[in-house]
Amino acid sequence: MTTDQALRAQSVTRRFGDFTAVDAVSMEVSSGEVVGLLGANGAGKTTLIRLLLGLLAPNEGRVELLGGPPDRAHRARMGYVPQNLGLYRDLTVAENLAFSADAYNAAVPEIPPSLRDARNTLVGDLALGAQRQAAFLVALAHQPEVLVLDEPTSGVDALSRAELWDTIRAQADDGVGVLVTTHYMEEAQHCDRLLLMAGGALVASGSEDDIVGDTRAVAVHTADWARTFAVLNAADIPVILDGRAIRVPDTDPATISSALDDAGVEAEIRPVPATIEERMLVLARSR
């Protein structure tokens, strides 16, 4: 590596007309670390990634890729897996790999056993898990120094997600700086550091414990979960429904009890530690 800094943004802002998609964000990713970029849909994650890659120009601020501008020369040292995977669906796995390697003037890597039987299959005919494996293989073909992954495990089964995360960690262990977005909060545990965006701004950073801090939540146990959710939601209480389990972050239990009592809903409430997803909801509501 020629620099210990893989990615850096300094007070970067991007506006689309009157809408500010990224608002004065400063962040960095160092070589050899996996940084998770978290946030709800519309938080600004993908726009920030496009700024870091030089696909969008910032209205304000500065972006650096491997210590320089995100120009063609620096992007040639980067691997990128976008949400749509960036593969040619009407080419085979082998053809996609050969095309990418030739574009970077790199040797075509060996296809791993998990994809060997699909080497001559059109990408568009593959299952999503195999497509994501192929996208990783293409992104890594030229041995990049920084890896940017936009929801790389979305829509695949748990085993495939675990295998892809093994690949991510192996790259970081080899000194590659990795920035990854994900909707799966349990995947935050695979990251060395987290960045949390809400409303286009960076609202928290650090480890999962750093971000959650002393935020508490309330677990609500009730037989009538649907009505309970509706009552709390109507009272503008930040309620989360996970299956039939109801949790309320950063809210006084007395407020919850009062709202349910007024509606005639019987429930047991119990304070519990908050999760990172619940902390995200709290921070997003404060924007």
Answer with the one of 207, 240, 263 that is the final residue of a domain.
207
pLDDT for 9 equals 95
pLDDT given at position 7: 94
Say whether both 147 and 26 belong to one domain: yes
- 189 and 100 assigned to the same domain: yes
Whether residue 149 is found in the same domain as residue 217: no
133 with 39, same domain? yes
The CA distance from 150 to 204, in Å, is: 19
Reply yes or no on whether the pLDDT at 2 is more than 70: no
Tally of domains in the chain: 2
Q: What mean pLDDT do residues 142-162 have?
A: 84
Tens digit of each residue's pLDDT (9 = 90 or more) over 7-53: 999 999 999 999 999 999 999 999 999 999 998 888 899 999 999 99
**Is the same domain home to 69 and 194?**
yes
Say if residue 104's pLDDT is above 80: yes
Q: In CATH, what number is assigned to the domain containing residue 218?
A: 3.30.70.790
Please identify, among 180, 207, 234, the residue that sits at the C-terminal boundary of a domain.
Answer: 207
- CA–CA gap between residue 21 and residue 13 (Å, rounded): 8
Is residue 75 located within the same domain as residue 137?
yes
Same domain? For 54 and 94 the reply is yes
Residue-range definition of the domain harbouring residue 55: 5-207
Closest of 81, 48, 77, 80 to residue 65, by C-alpha = 77
Note whether 126 and 202 are same-domain residues.
yes
pTM listed for this prediction: 0.84
DSSP string covering the chain, please? ---SEEEEEEEEEEEETTEEEEEEEEEEEETT-EEEEE--TTSSHHHHHHHHTTSS--SEEEEEETTB-SSHHHHTTEEEE-TTTT--TTSBHHHHHHHHHHHTT-PPPPPPHHHHTTTTSBGGGS-HHHHHHHHHHHHHTT--SEEEEESTTTT--HHHHHHHHHHHHHHHHTT-EEEEE-S-GGGGGG-SEEEEEETTEEEEEE-HHHHHTT-EEEEEE-S-HHHHHHHHHHTT---EEETTEEEEES--HHHHHHHHHHHT---EEEEEEPPHHHHHHHHHHT-
Are 203 and 229 part of one and the same domain?
no
Say if residue 106's pLDDT is above 90.
no
Pair 241, 190 in one domain: no
Distance CA 13, CA 60 (A): 5
Same domain? 173 vs 249: no
C-alpha to C-alpha distances, 80 to 52, 112, 133, 152, 227, nearest whole angstrom: 11, 19, 13, 10, 45
Kindly state whether residues 253 and 120 are assigned to the same domain: no
Domain boundary among 162, 178, 207: 207
- CATH code: domain of residue 78: 3.40.50.300
Q: Name the least confident of 2-11, 29-38, 63-72, 76-85.
A: 2-11
Q: DSSP letter string over 7-51?
A: EEEEEEEEEETTEEEEEEEEEEEETT-EEEEE--TTSSHHHHHHH
Q: Average pLDDT, stretch 80-95?
A: 89
Mean pLDDT over residues 197-209, rounded? 91
pLDDT computed for residue 108 by the predictor: 86
Tell me what the mean pLDDT of segment 64-72 comes to.
Answer: 90
Q: Which residue has the higher pLDDT, 287 or 86?
A: 86
Work out the pLDDT band at 1, boundaries 50, 70, 90. very low
